[in-house]
Structure 1
Amino acid sequence: MTVYIHDAVRTPRGKAKPDGALAGETPHGLVTRLVDALDERGHAPRSIDRFTLGCVGQVGAQGGGVAMVSKMAANLPDACVVHSINNFCASGLTAIGLSLDAIEAGRAASALAGGVEMMSRVPFMADRADYYSDQSFPPERRYIPVGLAADLLARSEDISREAMDEAAERSQRLAAAAEDRPGFNASRIAVAGLTREESIRPTSLRKLAEMPHAFTTWGEEYAHALSEPATHRHTVAHAPPIVDGAGLALLSNEAAGARARIVSYAEMGGDPRASLTAGFAAMEKALEQAGLSLDRIDRIEFMEAFAVTIAKFLRDFPVDPGKVNVSGGHLAKGHPMGATGAILTSTLLDVLDETDQRFGMVVCTGAQGVGAAMIVERL
């Protein structure tokens, strides 16, 4: 059964600081605003069969079953099945993939899927998991923060500081330019007066070259999990800003009125120490399932999970950079963890429409060896 994306909407991303533009909102409030937006755009989001919401920090403001809380706040039907999921940085895309599976299997005719993360309310690692400090695991299986994993990957893949500076400068430059192209942001829904991505800060290669390394403290704190001292390469500019945000996609088995059809979807696990490489494997699997080569994909939203990943992608794969993250990426706009996959899906549909292209792909990669990818065909 073919599954279609009828629409996908997203909030702007606000700085995860007390004075951030979205910091006074609630996670379920952001989701409700997106449900309202889908209604205003001529859809029927309150007639769905399933609702799946990704969120990484499911404690505090995002606890209590964040999808169930959002379902009630948004007045979704009582009968709709609801799931809160945590698949780290791929959560928002995994939510779409699970909804795709349910519709293909005939367990639902329509679904809302996406994610939310308010990092101003629930900071990174706020769940205080025992695993973060558990040294009973063998060293290669012990937890290391994803920023430190990015440094290890940059060393093992020989990704230079210069290449990462170029990736950061490119992301900021394209993101700033995209703010002046309404078509690139046609599905971005204003919330609390915020109409733009709040973290964009255009810069220069000269300024980037002067920045200090960001994760030296983590290198010392997690030395017990490393086989040798960490070699640091990433700066703050090479890491996506910490932000608040949400995204939702409306899926259905009906083609009428849809923006795109889902061509393929894949997830892959990977070496938790190599960490940020599973997205590449998921991308290759999605391409194989679709029977498409990378050069057939017209637009790609490749999650800038630290500068090392996008620099590796542009270096190692036969891809035209002019097709990749054409409206800027996470290094400029920020990474609301559980929402990212859905936000990138919404962005992809906008850039496909704005540039009148056919095939698009979203690639997400996350900590501990998490990866997901989806290919769509614009209708």
Structure 2
Amino acid sequence: MAVIYDAVRTPRGKGKAEGGLAAKKPDELVAALAEALSERGAGALSPDALILGAVGQVGAQGGNIALVSKFRAALPDSTAAVAINNFCVSGLTAMGQAHAMVDAGQADAVLAGGVEMMSRVPFMADKADFYTDGTLPLRSRYLLVALAADRLAEDQNISREALDAAALTSQKRAAAAEGTALVASRIAVNGLDREECLRVGTAESLAAMEPAFGAAAAHYRGILGRDIDHRHTIAHAPPIADGAGLALIAAEGAIDARPRARIIASAEVGGDPAESLTASFAALDKVLQRADLSLDDMDRIEFMEAFAVSIVQFLRDRDVSPERVNVSGGHLAKGHPLGASGAILLSTLLDALDEAEGRYGLVVAAGASGAGSAIIVERLG
């Protein structure tokens, strides 16, 4: 059974030219995390593979970003390097692939994670035909995720007040986590040692904000199928960010170090593209079934705050204690570096489990057009 020897992450920097990580290249973020893994007890890294998620695989993240990161991190020539794009679940998908390889005996040790430098490679920078292809069936055409979130909030009867409350909870928890064991595996890079996107508002300031995405609706009117009540503000959307996460996943005993957790199960799913963000629920159900566990067994959960509607729907519709979910805040407060996010969440989960001395933990991620991924781990305390 595959174990996680360690998992680390960068802080999330603002995805702008003046952001705290923007002076670095994406492969330099990965190399910094690989060095941290080595220094934290994994020793000299000699993995069979490096699997790296990234959504914008052009420019600074083109040319096989996993291969470039392998060179930057001075990994052995024998290390295979694979870059994957599964939209916003890419980093967690990479870890699921590593889990599958190790469990199948195809690798003894794999470095897996994700990176996204949105300061260098903006959202939709690949200019894919998919984003504008009118020949696809209507339900399969690309819909801007913010608009999918607005439509989902209306369909699910999730109020603006509930969205505000979710954003404020995320912000307050993220601020409270600074300087605690909940950030023990966050590695300072380029002098940035905090979540740069974090701002803590008030109930009044959040309530005063205007919905942010109505102007974009005209371009997607045919896909939306109707006029919608736009409810998400900028505070309900994760900030554009730079960041990376990386884990060393290996067969038990393959590394001369103490593992932090055992991977119990992982799951990848596709979902209804018209409902976009809801595949996370299918991934959640599949991974729990595979593990023969329930949400009640989970001591800590990291559920991707893709937009505020996602976390509100999860907490409303599933029998789970909010005190176990996103205890150090989430994407709404700290930002969303696309292909890195799932990997960052797994590292965050391990810190939360350690802090609580819990046993089981779950991470769930969602991406546009029906991408979902989930992993359950058991802490080895």
What is the TM-score of this pair, normalised by structure 1? 0.98
Write the mapping of 1:163-242 to structure 2, written as runs, cut at 5 A: 163-181=162-180, 183-242=181-240
* Equivalent position amino acid for 2:6 in 1: D
- The equivalent of 2:5 in structure 1 is 6
- The equivalent of 1:34 in structure 2 is 33
Q: Is residue 272–residue 368 contact of structure 1 (8 Å, CA) maintained in 2? A: yes
Over aligned residues, Cα RMSD in angstroms? Answer: 0.9
- The equivalent of 2:336 in structure 1 is 335
* Equivalent position amino acid for 1:198 in 2: E
- 1:205 and 1:135 mapped to 2: Cα distance? 41
C-alpha displacement of 1:268: 1.2
Q: Is residue 140–residue 369 contact of structure 2 (8 Å, CA) maintained in 1? A: no
Which consecutive residues of structure 1, in runs of 5 or more, have no partner in the other structure? Answer: none
Q: Is residue 149–residue 277 contact of structure 2 (8 Å, CA) maintained in 1? A: yes
Write the mapping of 1:235-274 to structure 2, written as runs, cut at 5 A: 235-255=233-253, 257-274=258-275
Q: Which secondary structure does the structure 2 equivalent of 1:7 belong to? A: strand
- The equivalent of 1:296 in structure 2 is 297
| Number of equivalences | 377
List, as ranges, runs of 4+ consecutive aligned residues in structure 1 with deviation greater than 4 Å.
none
- The equivalent of 1:320 in structure 2 is 321
Q: Deviations over 1:137-175 (max 9, x none)?
A: 232222111111111111111111111100000000000
Same amino acid, percent of matched pairs: 59
Q: Deviations over 1:48-74 (max 9, x none)?
A: 111100000000000001000100111
- The equivalent of 1:70 in structure 2 is 69
* Equivalent position amino acid for 2:189 in 1: V
- 2:44 and 2:280 mapped to 1: Cα distance? 30
Q: Is residue 3–residue 252 contact of structure 2 (8 Å, CA) maintained in 1? A: yes
Q: Which secondary structure does the structure 1 equivalent of 2:349 belong to? A: helix
Q: Is residue 299–residue 357 contact of structure 1 (8 Å, CA) maintained in 2? A: yes
- 1:56 and 1:330 mapped to 2: Cα distance? 17
Which consecutive residues of structure 2, in runs of 5 or more, have no partner in the other structure? Answer: none
* Equivalent position amino acid for 2:284 in 1: M
What is the TM-score of this pair, normalised by structure 2? 0.98
* Equivalent position amino acid for 1:140 in 2: R
* Equivalent position amino acid for 1:103 in 2: V
- The equivalent of 2:278 in structure 1 is 277
- 2:170 and 2:85 mapped to 1: Cα distance? 27
* Equivalent position amino acid for 2:344 in 1: I
Q: Which secondary structure does the structure 1 equivalent of 2:28 belong to? A: helix
Q: Which secondary structure does the structure 2 equivalent of 1:273 belong to? A: helix
C-alpha displacement of 1:44: 3.4
- The equivalent of 2:308 in structure 1 is 307
- 2:135 and 2:346 mapped to 1: Cα distance? 39
